[in-house]
Structure 1
Amino acid sequence: MHRPQSREDALAVLVADLAGDAQLVDDVVHAARCESPGIARMPRSESRRHVAALLAAGFAAFTGDGEPDFGPAARFGAERATLGVPVAALLSGLYAGRSRILEIAIERGRAAGIATDVMLQALLKLDRYGTRLERHIVGGYRAAERELSRDQRDARIGLLRRLLLGEDDGTATDPGRFGLRAGGTYHCLVSDAADPARVRRLEQAVARCGGVAAPVAGLLAGLTPRLPSPPPATTALVVTTPAVPLERAPAAYALGVTALHAAAGEALTGVHDVVDLAGETALAAQPMLAGFLSRSLLGALDPGDEFHHDLAYTALAYLDAGQRLDRTAEALHLHPNTVRYRLRRLQELTGLGERLTVLDTVRWWWALRSWPAPPAGEHRRQFMS
Structure 2
Amino acid sequence: MTADVLTTLVHALAGDPRLVDDVVASARAQSPESARLPSAESRRHVAALITAGCTAFLRAAEPDDEDFADAQRFGAAGAALGVPVGALLSGVHGGRSRVLEIAIARGRAAGLPDDVLLQGLLRLDRYGNALERNVLDGYRTAERQLDTDRRAARIRLLRHLLLGPDGTEAGEDLGRFGLTAEGRYHCVVSDVSDPARVRELEQAFARCGGVLAPVGGRLSGLTPRLPARLDDQALVVSTPPVPLKNAAAAHRLALAALDAARVRRKAGPHGVTELAGETALAGQPMLAGFLRDELLGALDPADDFHRDLAGTALAYLDRGQRLDLTAGSLHLHPNTVRYRLRRLAELTGFGAAGEQLTVLETVRWWWALWAWREAGPQTGLP
TM-score, scaled relative to structure 1: 0.91
Q: Which amino acid aligns with 1:60?
A: T
1:342 alignment partner, SS class: helix
Cα deviation per residue 1:126-175 (whole Å; 9 max; x = unaligned)?
Answer: 11221121122112212322443455011100111111101544453222
1:214 alignment partner, SS class: strand
Cα deviation per residue 1:88-112 (whole Å; 9 max; x = unaligned)?
Answer: 2212211110111011111111111
CA distance in 2, matches of 1:371, 1:73: 36
Cα displacement (A) at 1:309: 1.3
**What does 1:32-43 correspond to in 2, within 5 Å?**
32-43=27-38
**What does 1:1-385 correspond to in 2, within 5 Å?**
5=1, 7-64=2-59, 65=61, 67-69=63-65, 70-150=68-148, 152-168=150-166, 169-170=168-169, 172-229=171-228, 231-353=229-351, 354-372=355-373, 374=375
For 1:382, the equivalent position in structure 2 comes to none
Cα deviation per residue 1:328-348 (whole Å; 9 max; x = unaligned)?
Answer: 222222222222222122122
Deviates most, 151-160 or 169-178: 169-178
- Structure 1 residues 311 and 222, CA gap change in structure 2 (3 angstroms): same
Contact 2:155 2:215 in 1 (8 A): yes
Contact 1:39 1:89 in 2 (8 A): yes
Cα displacement (A) at 1:284: 1.1
CA distance in 1, matches of 2:152, 2:332: 57
Cα displacement (A) at 1:118: 0.5
Cα deviation per residue 1:280-310 (whole Å; 9 max; x = unaligned)?
Answer: 1111111111111111211222222222212
CA distance in 2, matches of 1:325, 1:136: 56
- Structure 1 residues 171 and 185, CA gap change in structure 2 (3 angstroms): closer
Contact 2:104 2:117 in 1 (8 A): yes
Cα displacement (A) at 1:39: 2.4
- Structure 1 residues 125 and 104, CA gap change in structure 2 (3 angstroms): same
Q: Which amino acid aligns with 1:137?
A: V
Contact 2:301 2:307 in 1 (8 A): yes
Q: Which amino acid aligns with 2:96?
A: R
2:188 alignment partner, SS class: strand
CA distance in 2, matches of 1:144, 1:282: 36
- Structure 1 residues 9 and 212, CA gap change in structure 2 (3 angstroms): same
Contact 1:33 1:40 in 2 (8 A): yes
Q: Which amino acid aligns with 1:55?
A: I
Cα displacement (A) at 1:373: 5.8
CA distance in 2, matches of 1:161, 1:59: 40
- Structure 1 residues 330 and 375, CA gap change in structure 2 (3 angstroms): closer
TM-score, scaled relative to structure 2: 0.92
CA distance in 2, matches of 1:106, 1:67: 21
Cα displacement (A) at 1:40: 2.3
> Identity of aligned pairs, percent?
65
- Structure 1 residues 366 and 254, CA gap change in structure 2 (3 angstroms): same
Task: Could you tell me which runs of 5 or more consecutive residues in structure 2 were left unpaired when the two chains were aligned.
Answer: 378-382
Q: Which amino acid aligns with 1:33?
A: R
CA distance in 1, matches of 2:130, 2:165: 36
For 1:381, the equivalent position in structure 2 comes to none
1:110 alignment partner, SS class: helix
- Structure 1 residues 297 and 113, CA gap change in structure 2 (3 angstroms): same
2:260 alignment partner, SS class: helix
- Structure 1 residues 94 and 167, CA gap change in structure 2 (3 angstroms): farther
CA distance in 1, matches of 2:173, 2:233: 33
Contact 1:291 1:373 in 2 (8 A): no
Task: Could you tell me which runs of 5 or more consecutive residues in structure 1 were left unpaired when the two chains were aligned.
Answer: 377-385
Contact 1:159 1:172 in 2 (8 A): yes
CA distance in 2, matches of 1:299, 1:373: 15
Deviates most, 113-122 or 54-63: 54-63
2:274 alignment partner, SS class: helix
